[in-house]
Homo-oligomer: A and B are copies of this chain.
């Protein structure tokens, strides 16, 4: 059911019955280390290339989610997934090896929220009994694709962010009398518009994506007649320190104060000073691994009960920037509740 301008209500309360998370060495060395299911020292994860490693992180996250749910893989109807690599090869090759019907997505760092919206949409409508949502990213693969090869030793600019190496996956299932008492469910979604206020600095993604987050959050509150205090946590994907600051200021100007219940996955995943990650983490794998490893268990243990999760993406490419274009942002919001 649609309410307001852009919000979907999932009346049949599709439940997240499990999650999986897998990350690389930098994330393993960060403050959320103990929350991830798998964390490895080897940035190649035993593969020969960064791109193949990224695919393996996604495969690992999905495998963990399926195993934890003790579900036969043949009972999973669809997989909704995407990543940052050109032609989304991390997801495509993972889907090939799993043999699950596949919807490929590209929403840059908003992909994990997009995947969860679509997976929940399919389960809620009865098109699927079980669906997987996943996203991944890899620092080394991203750097050489979007910026410079690592071998060049380019320094970070102060507003830049550090692409997370890792992946997260949720397994979303049809609610029934038993599982809905145990598992958190996806109750609503507010998919976002593409917003572009003219930022052209590829080393300032937080500022480029913030206006989209702002627009989606405002739309969500207006559509639902909710206010920030309804939520135990309002979680942004990877606005980083600067983007988060700008978002909080802008929302305050608009009359919404999220100072007490806002966290940003990109800020949480690294100790930005000690780990030299400038404004914090980014990449599809950032919000995916933090949601699956850190947030979901809190929901499942009912330490928190109402979460507004907004993943933001920057929809440019090196080619579009080279042609003088600015960086459009998109933000998709998902509500997870007990």
Q: Which residues of A contact B (CB under 8 A)?
A: 1-2, 6, 8, 48-49, 51-52, 77-78, 82, 84-89, 92-93, 95-96, 99-108, 114, 117-118, 121-122, 124-129, 191-196, 315-320, 323, 325, 328, 330
| A127 CB to nearest B CB, Å | 5
25 pairs from A and B in contact (CB 8 Å cutoff): A1-B126, A1-B127, A2-B77, A2-B127, A48-B323, A52-B323, A85-B319, A86-B87, A86-B318, A87-B315, A87-B320, A89-B316, A93-B315, A95-B328, A96-B328, A101-B191, A102-B330, A103-B114, A103-B118, A104-B108, A104-B114, A104-B330, A106-B106, A121-B127, A125-B125
| A141 CB to nearest B CB, Å | 9
**In this complex, what residue of B is CB-closest to A95?**
B194
| Identical copies of this chain, number | 2
**Most B CB atoms within 10 A — which of A1, A96, A316, A325?**
A96
Question: In the bound complex, do residue A191 and residue B103 qualify as a contact, i.e. CB atoms below 8 Å apart?
Answer: yes
**Most B CB atoms within 10 A — which of A1, A104, A118, A129?**
A104
Q: Which residues of B contact A196 (CB under 8 A)?
A: 96
Q: Measured between alpha carbons, how far is A96 from B215 in the docked complex, in Å?
A: 13
| A247 CB to nearest B CB, Å | 19
**In this complex, what residue of B is CB-closest to A94?**
B194
Q: Measured between alpha carbons, how far is A292 from B6 in the docked complex, in Å?
A: 27
**Most B CB atoms within 10 A — which of A77, A82, A93, A195?**
A93
With known contacts A101-B191, A105-B104, A118-B118, A89–B6 Cβ distance under 8 A = no
**In this complex, what residue of B is CB-closest to A141?**
B319
**In this complex, what residue of B is CB-closest to A7?**
B127
Known: A92-B316, A121-B127. 10 other contacts (CB 8 A): A1-B127, A6-B77, A48-B323, A87-B320, A89-B316, A89-B320, A93-B328, A99-B194, A103-B117, A125-B127
Q: Measured between alpha carbons, how far is A85 from B323 in the docked complex, in Å?
A: 14
Q: Measured between alpha carbons, how far is A51 from B63 in the docked complex, in Å?
A: 38
Q: Measured between alpha carbons, how far is A192 from B194 in the docked complex, in Å?
A: 28
Question: In the bound complex, do residue A108 and residue B125 qualify as a contact, i.e. CB atoms below 8 Å apart?
Answer: no
Question: In the bound complex, do residue B92 and residue A315 qualify as a contact, i.e. CB atoms below 8 Å apart?
Answer: yes
Question: In the bound complex, do residue A87 and residue B317 qualify as a contact, i.e. CB atoms below 8 Å apart?
Answer: yes
| A58 CB to nearest B CB, Å | 13
Which listed residue, B87, B100, B118, B192, touches A102 by the CB 8 Å rule? B192
Q: Measured between alpha carbons, how far is A245 from B181 in the docked complex, in Å?
A: 53
Which listed residue, B99, B107, B316, touches A104 by the CB 8 Å rule? B107
Question: In the bound complex, do residue A103 and residue B105 qualify as a contact, i.e. CB atoms below 8 Å apart?
Answer: yes
Sorted nearest first, the 10 A-B pairs with minimum C-beta distance are A92-B315, A125-B125, A87-B317, A96-B194, A95-B194, A96-B328, A106-B106, A86-B86, A104-B106, A88-B106
Q: Which residues of B contact A328 (CB under 8 A)?
A: 92-93, 95-96
Which listed residue, B8, B129, B315, touches A89 by the CB 8 Å rule? B315
Q: Which residues of B contact A82 (CB under 8 A)?
A: 104, 106
Question: In the bound complex, do residue A317 and residue B96 qualify as a contact, i.e. CB atoms below 8 Å apart?
Answer: no
Q: Which residues of B contact A100 (CB under 8 A)?
A: 193
Q: Measured between alpha carbons, how far is A160 from B96 in the docked complex, in Å?
A: 24
